Structure 1
Amino acid sequence: MLGKQWSSILFLIQEISAVVSITINIILIWLVLTKSPKNLGAYRWLMVYISVFEIIYSILDVILAPQHFSDGPTFLVIVGTKNKLFGPETLTLLNAFYWGFFGASMAVFAVHFVYRWLVVTNNRLLRSFQDWRICLWFSIPLWYGMTWICTGYFLSAPNESTTDSIRDSVKAMFELEFNEYIYLGPHLFDRKGDGKVDFHLNAFATILVITITIITSLTIVLIFGYLCYARINRLVATTSDSLKFKKLQKQLFYSLVIQTLIPFVLMHIPGGIMTAFVIFDIDLSVYSAVLSMTIAIYPAVDPIPTLVIVESYRNTLLRLLGIYSKTNPMGSSLADSSKF
């Protein structure tokens, strides 16, 4: 019964988060295209790219209403088939695309930080964001996503061993018969009656892909994040660039730091814990649903720092809400609060 209660809460969070995510990201896209500072450059296209990515991610999440489930050495993404628009085969494919979006998000973070470093250092590679080569940068998350799609659909496809292992636990937890859901996920090993253990190479390959993706994403973010921080501090101390440019770079950097903490807390940490528990054969059971909830919340809160920290976007929203004006003390204090 506990599993059904978690499921009800999860479905509500997924629906609310999808509405919030789509609304906020559409607003951000409008602001980026119409209210961006002139010296923002190609960064506006990167922000639009990320917002479109998060809108699609939210739509997919609410269509599937996926549930993450950990049962010892098994980790599944379960999708119920009742009251769905699509049949089991299509839902399985969409489930694989859901995996792909999670993997692609890891690359989005990395590209984001590399771009910020190119801007603050005025690196010559920055020109690659000004012409057709920007498509190459934008294709990196797509390649990550395709890797995860193939990992989920082929390496973690349903099989007799996994089904036999999880059939009873899923029924006991969620009161779902086997024909009422589809799943994708690795089942690392089986314990035989004689004490022997049969390992499944495909499942370990899945865990390897997940681990490498998370580690490489975090490594790039930490390295280039530190380089951006060091460079911006030096930039502020010099007079070779305009005050407006340096102020904008600081605003964007702090926005990026907060936007990185959000997926780190909502996606990297829960995903890493889930992977570790599966490797060490620790049963999370219904509490695996926490990962489903945090993933659903992520695209709804991720755009907020940009809306709040970038002054031109914030002031536009405040004006639309009737809060900000040049003579409004409240608006002035808010406008000055991020003059870093």
Structure 2
Amino acid sequence: MPTSYLLSSITLNFGIFAFFTSLTIGLIVIVLTLFGVRKIFGTYKYLMVIFTSLSVVLAFTETLFKPNLHFYNSGLVYFALSSAFGLSKKAMNMVLAAYAGIYSLTISLLAVQFIYRYWALIGLHYMIYFTGFRFIIWFVYCFVFGFSWCIGSYFLLQMDQDTKDYFQQDMRFGYNVAIEDIPAFYVLYFHPKDGSIRWNSVMYTASLSFIMTMQYGIMVYCGWNMHAKMEQTMQSFSNTLKRHHRQLFRTLVFQITCPTIFLFSPLVIIMYLPFFGIECSFPAGGVFSAISVYPIMDSIIVLVVVSEYRVVVKRMWDSLFGNKSLRNFEILKIVYN
């Protein structure tokens, strides 16, 4: 079995494990947010539920359709080794483009959460944009970026003669496939013969860079300003409300660090590496494994950092296993004494 194929198989199997883990923990967070935690309320409650659900959908799509990446010198191949459910190659290309769109939706909705927390803390007069029909603004905001990434993937990265000639030998050697037979998109920044710029790939990467920079910039800006202005703004708050806001702020701090590691950094490295023209060939499907891990980490952050969730989880655990655990402990004391 080719090494690239073997590594891709390992990555895909890990993605399955990541999905079921993210589904389990995500469902716990959703149920607790809707029915267990009373101090998370209003629009933010539904933002959390929608975001957690979307993150699980992202992991589910990765597990179901198994997108993959392969890096080769000055280019990338974004592909799937097989068609799920007997879908045609064209249909699978649409699925691959849709997966990219869901990723964009996820990071855009994450940025919206930061905007909500920032305005809730230091700009209450702006909160009208999260109430009533104005809430649609944020759905449109996320949809525009998700749709742009999806359409860009589908129309700017189609195979042509240059990409076919450039990638076919390496893909056959690494995965034992003919690239004309598999659903795939191709990023190739420079013409293989004369080194001229291939503008389709450059335009695609530029659009991705704009989307990611905008969303990440919003997160960092809101997070930093919340840190700088939090103490001054919360002087008039009750102790309970102060503690609640600090917990949510710590959650958002972790929610900057976590997507930096699992959502942004891997993709940025892979997308920009071909610009340097490094002569090497390796599977980069681990990017999707990192993306699949993100929903798990995000849900764990919420459960661990926000005390209201910890209290509810502990109460549920005690109600289910507390008495049994206590009896077992007493039995052990009797046996060993």
Comparing both structures, which one devotes a greater share of its residues to helix? 2
Instruction: Give me the whole-angstrom Cα distance separating, in 2, the residues matched to 1:251 and 1:53.
Output: 23
Q: Is the 1:68–1:77 Cα contact (8 Å) retained in structure 2? A: yes
- In the alignment, structure 1 segments of 5+ residues that lack a partner are 329-340
Instruction: Map Cα deviations across residues 9-50 of structure 1 (whole Å, 9 max, x no partner).
Output: 111111011111122212111111112334633210110110
Letter in 1 for 2:248: L
1:294 is matched with 290
| 1:41 lines up with 2:49 in the alignment | no
* One of 191, 210, 213 as aligned partner of 2:211: 213
Deviation at 1:84, TM superposition (A): 4.4
Structure 1 stretch displaced more, 181-190 or 144-153: 181-190
Q: Is the 2:37–2:312 Cα contact (8 Å) retained in structure 1? A: no
Change (3 A) 1:317 1:278: same
Instruction: Give me the whole-angstrom Cα distance separating, in 2, the residues matched to 1:172 and 1:233.
Output: 59
Instruction: Map Cα deviations across residues 32-83 of structure 1 (whole Å, 9 max, x no partner).
Output: 1112334633210110110121121122111111111111221221111256
Structure 1 stretch displaced more, 244-253 or 313-322: 313-322
1:254 is matched with 250
Q: Is the 1:3–1:174 Cα contact (8 Å) retained in structure 2? A: yes
Q: Is the 1:207–1:275 Cα contact (8 Å) retained in structure 2? A: yes
- In the alignment, structure 2 segments of 5+ residues that lack a partner are 326-337
2:335 is matched with none
Instruction: Map Cα deviations across residues 214-271 of structure 1 (whole Å, 9 max, x no partner).
Output: 22222211111111112222245x1x21111111111111111112211100121111
Letter in 1 for 2:127: L
Q: Is the 2:157–2:186 Cα contact (8 Å) retained in structure 1? A: yes
Q: Is the 2:64–2:84 Cα contact (8 Å) retained in structure 1? A: no
Change (3 A) 1:242 1:283: farther
Instruction: After TM superposition, list the pairs within 5 Å mapping 1:177-192 onto structure 2.
Output: 177-178=178-179, 180-192=181-193
Instruction: Give me the whole-angstrom Cα distance separating, in 1, the residues matched to 2:148 and 2:120.
Output: 29
1:67 is matched with 68
| 1:95 lines up with 2:89 in the alignment | no
Letter in 2 for 1:216: M
2:306 is matched with 310
Change (3 A) 1:89 1:74: same
Tell me how large the CA RMSD over aligned residues is: 2.0
Instruction: Give me the whole-angstrom Cα distance separating, in 2, the residues matched to 1:92 and 1:138.
Output: 25
| 1:274 lines up with 2:270 in the alignment | yes
Instruction: Give me the whole-angstrom Cα distance separating, in 1, the residues matched to 2:24 and 2:213.
Output: 32
| 1:118 lines up with 2:114 in the alignment | no
Q: Is the 2:166–2:192 Cα contact (8 Å) retained in structure 1? A: no
Deviation at 1:295, TM superposition (A): 1.5
Q: Secondary structure at the match of 1:321?
A: helix
| 1:231 lines up with 2:229 in the alignment | yes
Instruction: Map Cα deviations across residues 80-128 of structure 1 (whole Å, 9 max, x no partner).
Output: 1256442212111000001112222331232121111001114211122
Letter in 2 for 1:255: T
Q: Secondary structure at the match of 1:80?
A: coil
Change (3 A) 1:317 1:106: same
Instruction: Give me the whole-angstrom Cα distance separating, in 1, the residues matched to 2:205 and 2:26.
Output: 32
- State the TM-score, normalizing by the size of structure 2: 0.89
Identity %: 21
Q: Secondary structure at the match of 2:188?
A: coil
Structure 1 stretch displaced more, 278-287 or 250-259: 278-287
Structure 1 stretch displaced more, 111-120 or 285-294: 285-294
Letter in 2 for 1:3: S
Letter in 2 for 1:106: I
Deviation at 1:180, TM superposition (A): 4.8
Aligned residues: 321
Q: Is the 1:81–1:180 Cα contact (8 Å) retained in structure 2? A: no
Instruction: Give me the whole-angstrom Cα distance separating, in 2, the residues matched to 1:284 and 1:98.
Output: 27
Deviation at 1:172, TM superposition (A): 1.1
1:53 is matched with 54
2:328 is matched with none
2:155 is matched with 154
Instruction: Give me the whole-angstrom Cα distance separating, in 1, the residues matched to 2:175 and 2:201.
Output: 24
